[in-house]
């Protein structure tokens, strides 16, 4: 069982999707996802600090946040957001790990961007299920 999306953006495990998004945040220069609103676990003693969780709204607007703050199991990315997110992923793809192992973060990034562009061209949302 895992995450599947329309437009061939993603087909794979939830854990892998989480690792991929965490790496995207890192290469984009954003705070670690585990400190962000929606990811923060106040019961994790390593993270218990004033000012947490970090709210998405306090960060500079970036279409990447739509993907990073999105549920990993349902919902949609709106067609109107797809092209901007795809362009941002294209910028980050060269910074992602690219190895010959089972998971190339760079290949996953390029695949997700291609799916977003296909959805934008068709004026269709990307569905997560």
pLDDT in tens, 56-83: 888 778 899 999 999 888 999 999 999 9
Beta bridge partners of 75: 128
Q: Give how far the C-alpha of residue 59 lies from the chain's centroid of Cα atoms, to the nearest Å.
A: 16
Per-residue model confidence (pLDDT) at position 116: 98
* Mean pLDDT estimate for the chain: 89
List the structure tokens of 102: 């089972």
Three-state DSSP class for residue 12: strand
pLDDT-based confidence at residue 120 (cuts at 50, 70, 90): very high
pLDDT in tens, 1-29: 689 999 999 999 999 999 999 999 999 99
- The structure's pTM equals 0.87
Per-residue model confidence (pLDDT) at position 87: 98
- Of the candidates 42, 16, 14, 25, the residue with the CA atom closest to the CA atom of residue 89: 25
List the structure tokens of 13: 């495990």
Q: Which are the contacts of 31, defined by CB distance < 8 A and separation ≥ 6?
A: 25, 54
Q: Are 11 and 121 in contact (CB under 8 A)?
A: no
Does residue 102 surpass a pLDDT of 60? no
Q: Are 53 and 35 in contact (CB under 8 A)?
A: yes
In the chain, what percentage of residues exceed pLDDT 70? 92
Q: Give how far the C-alpha of residue 13 lies from the chain's centroid of Cα atoms, to the nearest Å.
A: 14
């Amino acid at each position: 069982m895992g995450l599947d999306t329309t437009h061939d953006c993603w087909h794979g495990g939830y854990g892998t999707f989480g690792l991929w998004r965490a790496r995207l945040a890192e290469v984009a220069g954003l705070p670690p996802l585990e400190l962000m609103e929606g990811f923060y676990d106040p019961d994790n003693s390593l993270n218990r600090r004033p000012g947490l969780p970090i709210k998405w709204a306090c960060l500079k607007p970036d279409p990447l946040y739509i993907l990073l703050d999105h549920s990993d199991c349902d919902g949609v990315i709106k067609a109107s957001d797809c092209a901007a997110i795809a362009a941002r992923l294209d910028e980050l793809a060269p910074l992602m790990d690219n190895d010959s192992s089972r998971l190339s973060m760079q290949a996953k990034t390029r695949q997700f961007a291609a799916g977003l562009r296909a959805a934008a061209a068709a004026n269709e949302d990307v569905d997560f299920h």
